[in-house]
Each structure stands twice: as structure tokens, then as C-alpha cells.
Amino acid sequence: MLKEGTRAPDFALCNKDGETVKLSDFYGKRIVLYFYPKDNTPGCTRQACAFASSYEEFKGKDAVVIGISKDSVSSHLKFANKYSLPFILLSDPELTAIRLYDVWQEKKLYGKSSMGVVRTTYIIDENGIIEKAMEKVKPDTNPREVLDYLNK
């Protein structure tokens, strides 16, 4: 996990429409960068829908919400359309940003170990500095916790 107070690594990934998006495109605004394991799974869907239902509040805080998983561009498009997700989803099949942000880690489930994305959220300030790092977040409460932090 990256440390608070350090520069957020820049990256360029494709959004659900196949357009290249860079993190640095959003400098000047606060960025809520959240990493999640997989589109259309129960926890990831609840988290995405919770971000979507609070989207106007995030916009009111001049914050950009960006979700990243290793799913394909077409998977993101279907996921966003199915749940009317108004924020940015970025596809990272090569694990570029996922590795840069140190969220590709060993996970254990039912006694078996495998590598995967650990659900993590970073809040990045207007200058590209990580101001808050939230590891192993819960999908149902993470968006509210982020908003509570932004409201401080």
C-alpha cells in the first residue's frame, strides 16, 4: 500500500469507451481512486452502486471518482450501463496501475492462496499527493467513509 503524503503514480488506461485516460488529467481536483476485484460480483456491484448513489455529493466536493479493475473495456461498458454508473471506470488487464498502487496481493479464501486485487481506496489531493489511503475497505460503507473524510 502506498503511503499518505507521497506522490500518486501517474498512469494511462482505457475507460469503458476505449478512450485513454491519465490520472494527471484530473490534477486540480480531488480524486477518489478505488480499486476493486471484478465487475458484476456482489461486493463490487454494491460498492459501485453506492458510489453512484452518492455521485452528486462527490461532484459537489469537486471530486472525481475513478474505479479500476483488471476487467476489459467491454466488461466495464456492460457493468456501467447495467447499473447506470456515472463515474469513470478504467480497465487495467496488464495490472499497470494495480501494481503501481500496490493492490495486487496474495489473498486467502477457504484456505487457498491466490493473487488478486485487494479492495483499496486512495484519496488524492489537487496536486497529485495521496492524502488518504484506505486498505481492505468494505464495499457497502467505503463510499460513505470517503464522503465523511471529504467533509472534514
For 42, counting Cβ atoms within 10 Å of its Cβ (0-12 exposed, 13-18 middle, 19+ buried), the class is exposed
Domain residues for the domain of 75 are: 12-145
Predicted model pTM: 0.95
Residues 131-144: tens digit of each pLDDT: 999 999 999 999 99
3-class DSSP state of 38: coil
Q: Is residue 150 part of a domain?
A: no
pLDDT value at residue 110 = 84
User: Which one from 23, 31, 44, 150 is the annotated catalytic residue?
Assistant: 44
Q: Is residue 1 part of a domain?
A: no
pLDDT value at residue 45 = 97
pLDDT value at residue 152 = 85
pLDDT value at residue 109 = 78
Nearest to residue 7, comparing CAs of 148, 103, 126? Answer: 126
- Based on the residue annotation, tell me whether 49 is a catalytic residue of this protein: no
pLDDT value at residue 111 = 85
Residue segments in the chain with a per-residue pLDDT below the cut of 70: none
Q: Is residue 4 part of a domain?
A: no
Q: Is residue 151 part of a domain?
A: no
Q: Is residue 7 part of a domain?
A: no
Q: Is residue 76 part of a domain?
A: yes
Q: Is residue 100 part of a domain?
A: yes
Task: Find the CATH number of the domain harbouring 39.
Answer: 3.40.30.10
Sheet holding 120-124, edge to edge: 20-22, 12-15, 88-91, 63-69, 30-35, 120-124, 130-135
3-class DSSP state of 23: helix
> Count of domains in the chain?
1
pLDDT value at residue 64 = 98
